[in-house]
Amino acid sequence: MSNYDSDILIIGGGMVGASLAAALAPLSLRVTVVEAKAPRDPGQPSYDDRSTALAYGSRRIIETLGLWPALESAATPIHGIHVSDRGRFGVTRLDRDEQGLPALGYVVDNRALGPVLWRAMEQSQVEILCPAGIKAINLKRDCAEVSVSTEDGPVVCNTRLLVVADGARSTTRELLGIGADITRYEQIAVITNVTPEKYHEHVAYERFTDTGPLAFLPMSNGRCSVVWTLPPDEADTALLCDDDQFLSALQDAFGHRLGRLTRCGSRHSYPLFLVKAAQISGERHVLIGNAAHGLHPVAGQGFNLGLRDVAALADVIADNDDPGDAIALRRYTQWRESDHDRVINLTDGLVRLFTSDFAPVKLARGAGLAALDLLGAPRGAFARQTMGLRGRLPRLARGVPLR
């Protein structure tokens, strides 16, 4: 068994873990990443058929990391967002001009985003152990002793900071004995790409239907990336029926704002649940990304929130000689908790509000959307939150490099 030391050990080289490794590159720290699945493994979540809606704030972080040029040609800008409630009055619109920005966000294929982040991690002098997994963790006052199984045999790594970034079903969280509130939504997200008759004009549509939210996100070549939330039995039907039947049901749910839906790509499904870790830091360890908070995909917030974790943690680490210093980790936790709570409440609240069958709630939400459309100030606050521009921003989100 070989033994070695590192300053920071990141468990999980998914989109969030890889972003952190890339962000830490200028700090001359010894960083190790342990990743269970190689980039081309079909089970690797960072390279699947989903698209990610990147908030404008995330673009700034990616740009400060120097990665935007590699991504820009694959990113479709979102100029407007249209929110509606199927079969009821009331819509809300958000517009880039009103926010004074070139775009509210960007839609990128995970097949483009994942490799850009992985390559950035590879180029940043990080030690990558892949495929590899964690066997045991022993937390001590001055380091975490982590037993890792690799293809070449077991390794023990002593690290000053253990970063847990192994996703919503984090086994490292369990090994650390950290509990999590897990709520199943009894909903499945069916994803695909469609080509509508009319051009999307760079508008993202979020439509609340009786079964759950339905998103159409603008993509290249006039296509839209679709995330359709359905109860499990309806999701099975949507996955198994033929393309014509699927497009007809989707058309019925979305309506005719973009004309006839002419083609669709392959369909995939994701069970949805809310995960909230009982704590996000402790002695010599910190949780980021989905390991700390797994969200419903409504409003496309999960990766954006994780990337803000990355920017804040990198900021705190840059200001401390010891990356696992207890006071620094407490600072990180206090900084991130309010953003986590706001986004969890926003996404979970939207899902609950718009799937309620209670008649007065249905009436009130139509009125709420109409009121939000009329009232500039709350709409602006809502837009800043979803764009990741609210609250105290870390250096990377302000365009300031760490070194």
Ligand X SMILES: Cc1cc2nc3c(=O)[nH]c(=O)nc-3n(C[C@H](O)[C@H](O)[C@H](O)COP(=O)(O)OP(=O)(O)OC[C@H]3O[C@@H](n4cnc5c(N)ncnc54)[C@H](O)[C@@H]3O)c2cc1C
- In the complex, the residues that contact ligand X under the rule CB under 6 A are 11-17, 34-37, 44-46, 50, 52-53, 133-134, 165-167, 171-172, 189, 191, 227, 270, 289-290, 297, 300-304, 306
Q: Please report, for residues 16, 17, 145, the alpha-carbon distance to residue 122 in angstroms, rounded to integers and kept in the order given.
A: 14, 12, 24
Question: Which CB, 90 or 351, lies closer to ligand X?
Answer: 351
Question: Which CB, 68 or 270, lies closer to ligand X?
Answer: 270
Plot region of 181 (φ>0 → left; ψ -120 to 50 → alpha; else → beta):
beta
Question: Which CB, 46 or 90, lies closer to ligand X?
Answer: 46
Question: Which CB, 59 or 96, lies closer to ligand X?
Answer: 59
Question: Taking the complex as a whole, how short is the minimal distance between the CB of residue 8 and ligand X, in angstroms?
Answer: 15
Q: Please report, for residues 172, 208, 220, 314, the alpha-carbon distance to residue 216 in angstroms, rounded to integers and kept in the order given.
A: 35, 12, 13, 33
Strands 31-34 and 2-11: parallel
Question: Which CB, 96 or 293, lies closer to ligand X?
Answer: 293
Question: Taking the complex as a whole, how short is the minimal distance between the CB of residue 321 and ligand X, in angstroms?
Answer: 27
Question: Taking the complex as a whole, how short is the minimal distance between the CB of residue 51 and ligand X, in angstroms?
Answer: 6
Question: Which CB, 34 or 314, lies closer to ligand X?
Answer: 34
114's enclosing H/E stretch is helix 110-122
Dihedral sign of CA atoms 325, 280, 175, 8 in order: negative
Question: Taking the complex as a whole, how short is the minimal distance between the CB of residue 361 and ligand X, in angstroms?
Answer: 25
Question: Taking the complex as a whole, how short is the minimal distance between the CB of residue 89 and ligand X, in angstroms?
Answer: 27
Q: Are 224 and 85 within 8 A, CB to CB? A: no
Residues 6+ away with beta carbon under 8 Å from 193: 51, 219, 223, 224, 225, 226, 264, 265
Question: Which CB, 90 or 223, lies closer to ligand X?
Answer: 223
Residues 6+ away with beta carbon under 8 Å from 365: 85, 88, 90, 208, 353, 354, 356
Question: Taking the complex as a whole, how short is the minimal distance between the CB of residue 167 and ligand X, in angstroms?
Answer: 3
Question: Which CB, 88 or 270, lies closer to ligand X?
Answer: 270
Question: Taking the complex as a whole, how short is the minimal distance between the CB of residue 132 and ligand X, in angstroms?
Answer: 7
Which residue's Cβ has the minimum distance to ligand X?
14
Measured from the Cβ of residue 402, the count of other Cβ atoms closer than 10 Å reads 19
Distance of alpha carbon 112 from the chain centroid: 15
Q: Are 334 and 327 within 8 A, CB to CB? A: no
Question: Taking the complex as a whole, how short is the minimal distance between the CB of residue 130 and ligand X, in angstroms?
Answer: 8
From CA 29, how far away is CA 6, in angstroms rounded?
Answer: 8
What tokens were used for 50? 């989903």
Q: Are 234 and 209 within 8 A, CB to CB? A: no
Question: Which CB, 90 or 303, lies closer to ligand X?
Answer: 303
Question: Taking the complex as a whole, how short is the minimal distance between the CB of residue 212 and ligand X, in angstroms?
Answer: 12
Question: Taking the complex as a whole, how short is the minimal distance between the CB of residue 32 and ligand X, in angstroms?
Answer: 12
Question: Which CB, 107 or 258, lies closer to ligand X?
Answer: 107
From CA 12, how far away is CA 132, in angstroms rounded?
Answer: 10
Q: Are 10 and 17 within 8 A, CB to CB? A: yes
